[in-house]
Amino acid sequence: MLKFLSKYTIISNIFSQKLRKYSLANGTFCQILEIFSEYNLFKIVLPSKQTKLVSGWNFVILGRNTQTDNKFEVLGKAGTRILSGKKPKVRGVARNPVDHPHGGRTKTNQPEVSIWGWVAKRNK
């Protein structure tokens, strides 16, 4: 609980009514600036340098969020994203004309069409 912590403590993942609200991203944290013990309120600085008043009954996690270097991760080839549940998307222009209305390189004088084959860009 937040009410048991001291001033200038670094915290993350502030829970409010069983919902995580602030400082959720990797490597982010909040810091306690002031403690108003008579009201059970805490003034915290968010990662965006904004200040908020938070109740002392909220649950928090001590320290920064882990995996601070996730933004530097190189996935490599497209097949490695399948392991994390993200399938590759193939653009319609890269397909054959039989497979998709946007497909093929034979669109010299043909208008752009939607997924369903309608003319997408008409003169107004």
Helix (H, G, I), strand (E, B) or coil at 51: strand
In a domain, 124, yes or no: no
Residue of 123 and 15 predicted with greater confidence: 15
Q: Which of 47, 62, 77 is the last residue of a domain?
A: 62
Question: Which carries the bigger pLDDT value, residue 103 or residue 2?
Answer: 2
Please provide the average confidence, as pLDDT, over all residues in the chain.
Answer: 83
Residues 6+ apart with CB under 8 A from 20: 13, 14
Q: Is residue 84 part of a domain?
A: no
pLDDT of 124 strictly over 70: no
The CATH number of whichever domain residue 18 belongs to comes to: 2.30.30.30
Q: Are 5 and 14 in contact (CB under 8 A)?
A: no
The answer to whether position 31 is within a domain reads: yes
Percent of the chain with pLDDT over 90: 31
User: Which has more confidence, 47 or 21?
Assistant: 47
The tokens 């069409």 sit on which residue? Answer: 113
**What is Dmax (Cα atoms) for the chain?**
75
Residue 78 domain flag: no
Flag whether 77 is in a domain.
Answer: no
Q: pLDDT for 22-51, tens place per residue? A: 888 888 899 999 999 999 999 999 999 999
How much is the pLDDT for 90? 81
The verdict on residue 100 lying in a domain is yes
Domain with 15, as residue range(s), is 2-62
Q: Rounded to whole angstroms, how far apart are CA atoms 17 and 46?
A: 18
Is 21 part of a structural domain of the chain? yes
Domain count, the chain: 2
Q: Which of 17, 43, 62 is the last residue of a domain?
A: 62
- Same-domain pairing of 53 and 99: no
| pLDDT, tens only, 63-77 | 988 877 777 878 777
- pLDDT band of 82, cuts 50, 70, 90: confident
Half-sphere exposure of 87 (CA within 13 A, CB side): 3
